[in-house]
Structure 1
Amino acid sequence: MVKPWYKQFWPWFLIILPLTVVVWTIITVIVFSQNSVSLVTEDYYKKGKGINIDISKQNVAKNLGLSASAFSDGNAVVIQFEKGQLEHYPAITVMFAHRTLPDRDFSQLLTSDAKGQYRLTLEEELQGPWFIELTPHDQKWLVQGRVTFPSTTPVQLEN
């Protein structure tokens, strides 16, 4: 006697293969839709024009002899600033941008101590690669660079 089709091995084996692909495709679509990466900017033209402005601000910083380096000290980020031709250490806005996680970006207005060190104390220690921009309140110059935290030795920010 021949068994009915639903009691045989091969029909179920042939049904399971495409069904597995469909299930994993649905799972993949759900995971990727909930964890999107926003690496592409929508206003790329304005962003490109802004790069030219940033270069001129960097040139102003070079002409003034400004430079900076950054390192971490536990939960604190210390920025050592060389004021070059400036009369005093200005209050600066420090912008921290994460390479791949834009929701973690933040800015802070900092003032220096007598040695030209700016200290930012955070709730938790910074981890991973960060892009740092230093600008004064009038935004006439710009010093920027990349630092991978934690870093106990000062990393020079490029002009």
Structure 2
Amino acid sequence: MNALTENIKPWYREPWPWILMALPAAAVIFGLFYAWLAITTQDGLVDDDYYKDGLAINRTLDRDKAAKTLNIKAQLMVGDDPTHLRLMLQGGQSGTLPQHLRLKLLHPTRAGMDQVVDLTQRGEGYYEGALKSLGPARWHLVLEDTEKKWRLTGTWHVPKDHSVALDSKG
């Protein structure tokens, strides 16, 4: 045998072909994983009826203006127990505050994590309610009366904020 042929190994015993094949193989594996992920998870950012939501924007703006006209403001407080909410509501020209309020907690990217909390009046301008545990995020808050005449909005950074001011944007 020749000295050159004695030192040559078969291709599958060399490291470089395997290294070069690993990159395309990894791309195929990750591509299949991302395809599976796209199929099995719901995209919470896409709205099914965006046209109808666009038409409803004027009603939403009118509710913000109504809260500003009534001079309604609210302060949301969270104690040591993060599932117990307290809210102080002030304002309203009629002098009577509603018995029940609805607080929507909207996750910025996952609609499946959104919650609605019913708040009940426990004293003049003092409301309480219970919610499920929230994960850390910047939650969007919408406070409204049950008749949907006005609304207040705010942002709650969980778990950093223990108090959140809600106001009208109108």
Shorter-normalised TM range: 0.7 to 0.9
Question: Are 2:114 and 1:105 aligned?
Answer: yes
Identity of aligned residues (%): 27
Q: Counterpart of 2:115 in structure 1: which amino acid?
A: F
- Structure 2 equivalent of residue 30 of structure 1: 36
**Distance in 2 between residues matched to 1:137 and 1:8, nearest whole Å:** 73
20-29 vs 75-84, which moves further: 20-29
Q: Counterpart of 1:85 in structure 2: which amino acid?
A: Q
25-34 vs 135-144, which moves further: 25-34
* 87 and 19 in structure 1: CA distance in 2 versus 1, 3 angstrom threshold: same
Q: Report the structure number with the largest CA radius of gyration.
A: 2
Unaligned runs of 5+ in 1: none
Instruction: Give the length in aligned residue pairs.
Output: 158
TM-score, length of structure 1 as denominator length: 0.81
Which residue of 80, 84, 87 corresponds with 2:88?
80
C-alpha contact 2:117 2:130 (8 A) present in aligned 1:
no
Which residue of 60, 74, 79 corresponds with 1:54?
60
**Distance in 2 between residues matched to 1:13 and 1:129, nearest whole Å:** 43
C-alpha contact 1:72 1:149 (8 A) present in aligned 2:
no
C-alpha contact 2:117 2:131 (8 A) present in aligned 1:
no
Q: Counterpart of 1:121 in structure 2: which amino acid?
A: A
Q: Counterpart of 2:59 in structure 1: which amino acid?
A: I
- Structure 2 equivalent of residue 19 of structure 1: 25
**Distance in 2 between residues matched to 1:137 and 1:12, nearest whole Å:** 66
Secondary structure of the residue that 2:51 maps to in structure 1? Answer: helix
Which residue of 35, 40, 43 corresponds with 2:46?
40
